C-alpha cells in the first residue's frame, strides 16, 4: 500500500470504527471492539470430488497462520433442516474475524493468502464473499 | 454415550451458557469442539430507510437472550474493497455460533426467535441462510 493511500485508509478506518477508536489508542484487542467478519463460500468445479474438497480444506487451513486473523472457522454445509431460504449448495466455507478493515487488508495481501489462491483457485468455479462490520 | 447419560448431557447443554464452562463443565465447552455457524443475510424492502434498518437491528439484538447461542455478531456491509466476488448488497447480517445441530434447532423454535420473525419479517424482501459445520 502506498504511503498516501495508507494514510487515507487509516483515517477511514479510524472514522468508521466505533468504540476503542474513540479513545484514539491502539486498543485493538479489547473484547468489546466491534469486529469485522469475512465469510467466503466456495463452489467446487467438481462438487462430488472428495479429493478436491480435501485439497481446498487443506489450503484453507494454511490461512490460520496469518497474524491478523482473530478467529478462523472452516466449514462444510451443516445438516440443518432444508428450507427454501437455506443455501447449502456450496462446497466449503471460510469464516474469519478481524479487528478492523486494516486487518482484513493485511490478510488480502498476505503471501500465505496469495499462495492459497495460486494453489487452490483452479478447484473452484464460484466464490461469494460477505464482509460485515459489527454494529 | 448411553441413553441416560445422553439425556443428561442434552439437558445440561441446553441449560448452560458458554460462561458456565468456568464453573466446572470443562468437557462440554472445550475450545476444540467443532461449532456450527449460522449466518443470515437480510435485504430490506426499503434499503434506503434508516428507520427500517434500525428496527431490524433492534429485533436482531433481542435474539442474544437465546441460551444456545454461543456468540452473536450483528453486522452491516463493511467498507472493504469492492471486488466482483464481494456481495455487499444486503442490509444487515446475523452470525451465530452453536455447539451443535440441536443448539441451532432450539434457536429456530425459540419464542424469542418467533417473536422476532413476527415483528420484523415485513421489513425484508429476501433472506439467505448459510449453515456451516466446522471441519
Q: Residue A33's pLDDT is what?
A: 86
Interface contacts (A, B; CB < 8 Å): 120
Inter-chain CB proximity A130 and B86 less than 8 Å = yes
Inter-chain CB proximity A75 and B39 less than 8 Å = no
DSSP string for A21-90: GGGTS--TT-TTS--EEEEEEEEESSTT-HHHHHHHHHHHHHGGG-TT-SEEEEEEE--PPP-TTB----
Q: Residue A4's pLDDT is what?
A: 53
Q: Does the interface ipTM go beyond 0.90?
A: no
Q: Please indicate if any CB of chain A lies within 8 Å of the CB of B117.
A: no
Q: Is the pLDDT of residue A13 over 80?
A: no
Q: What is the pLDDT of residues A29-75, one digit of tens each?
A: 445 689 999 999 999 999 999 999 999 999 999 999 999 999 999 99
Q: Please indicate if any CB of chain B lies within 8 Å of the CB of A56.
A: no
Residue that wins the pLDDT comparison between A61 and B32: A61
Inter-chain CB proximity A81 and B108 less than 8 Å = yes
Q: Which of A12, A76, A127 sits opposite B132 (nearest CB)?
A: A76
Q: Residue B76's pLDDT is what?
A: 98
Residue that wins the pLDDT comparison between A88 and B16: A88
Which chain A positions have a beta carbon within 8 Å of B87's beta carbon?
128-130
Q: Residue B32's pLDDT is what?
A: 65
Residue that wins the pLDDT comparison between B18 and B98: B98
Q: Please indicate if any CB of chain A lies within 8 Å of the CB of B72.
A: no
Whether the CB-CB separation of B93 and B40 falls below 8 Å is answered with yes
Distance in angstroms (rounded) separating the CA atoms of residues B10 and B56:
32
Q: Is the pLDDT of residue A119 over 50?
A: yes
Q: Is the pLDDT of residue A16 over 50?
A: no
Q: Is the pLDDT of residue B5 over 70?
A: no
Q: Residue A14's pLDDT is what?
A: 43
Which chain B positions have a beta carbon within 8 Å of A85's beta carbon?
127-129
Put residue A64 in one of left, alpha, beta given phi > 0 → left and psi -120 to 50 → alpha: alpha
- Whole-model pTM: value is 0.78
Which chain A positions have a beta carbon within 8 Å of B72's beta carbon?
none
Q: What is the pLDDT of residues A79-113, one digit of tens each?
A: 999 999 999 999 999 999 999 999 999 999 999 99
Q: Is the pLDDT of residue B20 over 70?
A: no
CA distance A113 to chain B (A): 16
Residue that wins the pLDDT comparison between B11 and A91: A91
Q: Which of A100-109, B27-36, B102-111 has the lowest mean pLDDT?
A: B27-36
Q: Residue B33's pLDDT is what?
A: 86
Please report, in angstroms and rounded to a whole number, the separation of the first and last CA atoms in chain B: 22
* Burial of residue B65 (number of CB atoms within 10 Å: 0-12, 13-18, 19+): exposed
What is the four-CA torsion angle of B78, B82, B87, B92, rounded to 10 degrees?
Answer: 20
Amino acid at each position: 500500500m502506498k504511503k498516501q493511500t495508507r494514510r487515507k485508509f487509516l483515517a477511514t478506518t479510524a472514522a468508521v470504527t466505533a468504540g476503542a477508536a474513540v479513545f484514539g489508542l491502539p486498543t485493538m484487542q479489547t473484547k468489546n471492539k466491534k469486529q469485522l467478519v469475512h465469510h467466503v463460500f466456495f463452489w467446487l468445479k467438481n462438487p462430488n470430488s472428495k479429493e478436491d474438497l480435501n485439497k481446498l480444506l487443506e489450503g484453507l487451513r494454511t490461512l490460520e497462520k496469518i497474524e491478523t486473523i482473530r478467529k478462523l472457522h472452516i466449514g462444510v454445509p451443516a445438516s440443518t433442516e432444508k428450507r427454501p431460504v437455506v443455501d447449502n449448495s456450496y462446497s466449503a466455507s471460510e469464516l474469519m474475524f478481524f479487528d478492523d478493515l486494516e486487518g482484513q487488508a493485511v490478510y488480502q495481501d498476505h503471501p500465505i493468502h496469495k499462495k492459497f489462491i495460486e494453489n487452490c483457485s483452479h478447484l473452484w468455479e464460484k466464490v461469494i464473499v460477505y464482509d460485515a462490520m459489527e454494529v
